[in-house]
Amino acid sequence: MTRMTSTARPYLNRRLAEFGTTIFAEMSALAVRTGSINLGQGFPDTDGPEEVREAAVRALRDGRGNQYPPGPGIPELRSAIAEHQLRRYGLTYDPDTEVLVTAGATEAIAACLLALLEPGDEVIALEPYYDSYAASIAMAGGRRVPVTLRPHTDGGAGFRLDLDELRAAVTDRTRLLLINTPHNPTGTVLTRAELAAIAELAVDRDLLVVTDEVYEHLVFDDAEHVPLATFPGMRERTVTIGSAGKTFSFTGWKVGWVTASPGLVTAVRSAKQFLTYVSSGPFQYAVAEALALPDSYFDGFRRDMRTRRDILAEGLAQAGFEVFRTAGTYFITTDIRPLSEKDGFAFCRALPERAGVVAIPNAVFYDDREAGAPFVRFAFCKKEEVLREAAERLRRI
């Protein structure tokens, strides 16, 4: 029997072969290299509240969290997460058995999929999907089944889910629905009626649900964030993922969490403990304090981000892009066809040279690259003057 030698065989295994460098790393490096305004990777250019930063400094200085914190997360943070879910949504979670702190939402996603999937299990994800979903499903040996959100221009509806398509995608091999609302990259916020239909489907077909709600505090206008776990029959089958990165503008801290019933949390923890075991010791103390900030913080943050959304949306429209409605997140998705462009990849690769601006081609979030080709995502979590300057530059292309 012949066997390929270790060096002849590709180093990267087959499960991950389709995933090269993430688009975010590629585009942020391009922004640095070309000195462009980076509206690609979603991170704020201003740090979060001073008192939260000070809380982290205090924890570091006082020696809290400088050695391994407890595996499930420090008790103060687990209590603060449970309190947050209760105060905002009326959801009751036991901090000791139903809350798990993770290294950002990214680790939570990976741990959920590694824990809950058997090889060959199907996972339905909303396409365009956040890139780590595809990679994590692959690492777990699962099969991703995309259900595509389609753009609606009339009435400013933005990208919407077709519930019949979702229902039709469920098979006997479907293990879980991987939902994301508010949705990256489209800015869609699923409505109460859509969520109720998803919940009904999950109960009816006995599916697990992993729901990525990291943008829960970034909803605008009349949109409302409703956690899937609040719907009948959902609490016991739903793993909800949150993250401090977006809500408190400290994306580098990588403090995320999972809330679910004890059985699900135990399963996810089993995978999580062999990924990082624990992380972010002192930051966990700071995030515990941040979650207890008064409503005025969350309201002000949302208002501030809505203003930025409006500045960028207006600038993009004036520059000739078709701008889809963003009801939540950090992002605006545009269609470049009115600019006589059709390939978002080529457009984004050329944009730093042409305009000194970096954006993300939505095609990377699609299995069906053709379907995503004309869409380009811009992040508005940047200073107002930066957004105005970017808009000015884009008007000149």
Q: Which of 42, 44, 142, 372 binds ligand GLN (CB under 6 A)?
A: 42
Rounded to whole angstroms, how far apart are CA atoms 114 and 94? Answer: 24
Does 73 interact with ligand PMP (rule: CB under 6 A)?
Answer: no
Rounded to whole angstroms, how far apart are CA atoms 354 and 356? Answer: 6
- The option from ligand GLN, ligand PMP, none interacting with 24 (CB < 5 to 8 A, set by class) reads ligand GLN
- The option from ligand PMP, ligand GLN, none interacting with 245 (CB < 5 to 8 A, set by class) reads ligand PMP
Nearer to ligand GLN, 184 or 326 (CB): 184
Does 41 interact with ligand GLN (rule: CB under 6 A)?
Answer: yes
Q: What is the dihedral of CA 108, 110, 116, 118, to 10 degrees?
A: 180
- Cα–Cα–Cα angle for 61, 62, 68, rounded to 5 degrees: 95
Stretch that binds ligand PMP, among 90-98, 101-109, 344-352, 385-393 (CB under 6 A): 101-109
**Per-residue burial over 348-383, b = 16 or more CB atoms within 10 Å of its CB, e = otherwise:** beebbeebbbbbbbbbbbbeeeebbbbbbbbbbbbe
Rounded to whole angstroms, how far apart are CA atoms 127 and 150? Answer: 9
Q: Which of 42, 48, 73, 372 binds ligand PMP (CB under 6 A)?
A: 42
Does 212 interact with ligand PMP (rule: CB under 6 A)?
Answer: yes
In degrees and rounded to multiples of 5, residue 135 shows phi and psi of -65, -40
Radius of gyration for the alpha carbons in the chain, expressed in angstroms and rounded: 21
Does 240 interact with ligand GLN (rule: CB under 6 A)?
Answer: no
DSSP secondary-structure letter at 362?
A: G
Does 73 interact with ligand GLN (rule: CB under 6 A)?
Answer: no
Nearest to 212 by CA among 253, 260, 179, 249: 179
Does 284 interact with ligand PMP (rule: CB under 6 A)?
Answer: no
Q: How many residues bind ligand GLN (CB under 6 A)?
A: 5
Nearer to ligand PMP, 136 or 334 (CB): 136
**282 and 65 in contact (C-beta within 8 Å)?**
yes
Q: Which of 48, 49, 104, 142 binds ligand PMP (CB under 6 A)?
A: 104
Q: Which of 184, 279, 280, 334 binds ligand PMP (CB under 6 A)?
A: 184
Tell me if residue 199 falls in helix, strand or coil. helix
Binding mask 4-23 for ligand GLN (x = CB under 6 A): ------------------x-
Nearer to ligand PMP, 184 or 334 (CB): 184
**279 and 256 in contact (C-beta within 8 Å)?**
no
Does 89 interact with ligand GLN (rule: CB under 6 A)?
Answer: no
Does 24 interact with ligand GLN (rule: CB under 6 A)?
Answer: yes
Does 211 interact with ligand GLN (rule: CB under 6 A)?
Answer: no
Interaction site with ligand PMP (CB under 6 A)? 42, 104-106, 130, 180, 184, 212, 214, 243, 245, 251, 254, 256
